[in-house]
Amino acid sequence: MSTKPQAMQIPALLVKELRKRTSAGFSDCRAALVEAGGDIEKAINVLRKKGQAMAAKKATREATEGLVASYIHAGGKIGVIVEVNCESDFVARTEAFQQLCHDVAMHIAALEPRYVRREDVTPDMLEKEREIYGEQARATGKPEPVIEKIVGGKMEKFYEETCLYEQHFIKDESLTVGELINQCIAKLGENITVKRFVRFKVGEVTGTPGPGSGSSGDTPAADPA
């Protein structure tokens, strides 16, 4: 007589730890741990892939609700205003979405991104950066194919340093801000996107604006008069 294999038993404390690290739901965390054979690091990758897949499916859905969040750094020297969009007012009022908005604003205050996504970087800026990296690489005397690889690597680093979605999240450097947003999409079931932001610092002539998504064609918000 054949018997069905029993499902792997996952300790509740392990599920709790995964929830703490990813903010995913209990059932999703347990399923990811089962798939990963109880390995929490592999389970995190399982959840990230799930979040990326769900984000890709929902990316074309219109997100016109959301919140404008603010963050003032200790001492009042740096301030950020950011617009984060979702699909419904119901999700906008959830604790998870509001926490995301707060975390994104705090991250912007700390790491000062210049763009929301890599698609927002202007062609002129890209050409300028490539030219600089190319000149630096050619000065080493390396052959052209190697130079192209060097430039490509430096451009990826440029995106990582200047684009919000590419930056490593200030509260958990094991994931990017884009991956953080994907986790929230997987948890809340709606398309979520950062539309624009502006960062102010005492002593600067103007704030540092973050343009809207490349697909929307939005322009940076003007500084208040």
With respect to residue 2, please indicate whether it lies within any of the assigned structural domains.
no
Q: What is the mean pLDDT of residues 200-220?
A: 59
Q: pLDDT digits over 84-93, tens only?
A: 999 999 999 9
Q: Residues 200, 97: one domain?
A: yes
Q: Residues 186, 211: one domain?
A: yes
Q: pLDDT digits over 5-44, tens only?
A: 345 788 888 888 888 777 677 778 888 888 888 888 888 8
Task: Write the CA distances from 166 to 10, 20, 72, 136, 222, integer angstroms.
Answer: 33, 22, 23, 24, 24
From the CA atom positions of the chain, what is the Rg in Å?
21
Q: What is the mean pLDDT of residues 143-153?
A: 87
Count: domains in the chain: 3
Q: What is the mean pLDDT of residues 142-171?
A: 92
Q: Residues 104, 192: one domain?
A: yes
User: In this predicted structure, what is the pLDDT of residue 66?
Assistant: 96
Written as six digits, the tokens of 13 are: 């404390």
With respect to residue 221, please indicate whether it lies within any of the assigned structural domains.
no
Q: Which helix (H) or strand (E) holds 199?
A: strand 193-201
Closest CA to 51 of 194, 181, 176: 181
Q: Residues 71, 112: one domain?
A: yes
Q: In the chain, what is the straight-line distance between the N-terminal and C-terminal CA atoms, in Å? A: 80
Written as six digits, the tokens of 157 are: 């680093």
**Res. 222: pLDDT tops 70:** no
Q: Residues 37, 147: one domain?
A: no
Q: Residues 105, 200: one domain?
A: yes
Q: Which helix (H) or strand (E) holds 35?
A: helix 26-35
Query: Which position has the token pair 């919000």?
Result: 164
Among residues 103, 137, 154, the one where a domain terminates is: 154
With respect to residue 1, please indicate whether it lies within any of the assigned structural domains.
no
Q: Residues 99, 168: one domain?
A: yes
- Kindly give the residue spans of alpha helices, DSSP state H, lying in 139-176: 144-162
Q: What is the mean pLDDT of residues 149-168?
A: 94
The CATH number of residue 176's host domain is 3.30.479.20
Q: Residues 170, 210: one domain?
A: yes
Q: Residues 104, 176: one domain?
A: yes
With respect to residue 170, please indicate whether it lies within any of the assigned structural domains.
yes
Q: What is the mean pLDDT of residues 147-153?
A: 89
With respect to residue 147, please indicate whether it lies within any of the assigned structural domains.
yes
With respect to residue 3, please indicate whether it lies within any of the assigned structural domains.
no
**Res. 123: pLDDT tops 90:** yes
Among residues 109, 136, 154, the one where a domain terminates is: 154
**Confidence band for 46, pLDDT divided at 50, 70 and 90:** confident
Q: What does 80-98 look like in DSSP terms, one character per residue?
A: EEEEEEES-HHHHTSHHHH
**Confidence band for 193, pLDDT divided at 50, 70 and 90:** very high
Task: Write the CA distances from 48 to 23, 141, 150, 169, 181, integer angstroms.
Answer: 11, 41, 29, 14, 10
Q: Residues 83, 180: one domain?
A: yes
Tell me how far apart the 2 most distant CA atoms of the chain are, in Å. Answer: 80
User: In this predicted structure, what is the pLDDT of residue 199?
Assistant: 96
With respect to residue 185, please indicate whether it lies within any of the assigned structural domains.
yes
The CATH number of residue 46's host domain is 1.10.8.10
Q: Residues 102, 186: one domain?
A: yes
Q: What is the mean pLDDT of residues 189-195?
A: 94
Q: pLDDT digits over 27-36, tens only?
A: 788 888 888 8
**Confidence band for 105, pLDDT divided at 50, 70 and 90:** very high
**Confidence band for 218, pLDDT divided at 50, 70 and 90:** very low
User: In this predicted structure, what is the pLDDT of residue 213?
Assistant: 41
Q: pLDDT digits over 125-146, tens only?
A: 999 998 999 888 888 888 888 8
Determine the structural domain holding residue 18 and report its residue range: 8-58
With respect to residue 27, please indicate whether it lies within any of the assigned structural domains.
yes
User: In this predicted structure, what is the pLDDT of residue 205?
Assistant: 73
Q: What is the mean pLDDT of the chain?
A: 84
Q: What are phi and psi of 83, to 5 degrees?
A: -105, 120
Q: Residues 167, 211: one domain?
A: yes
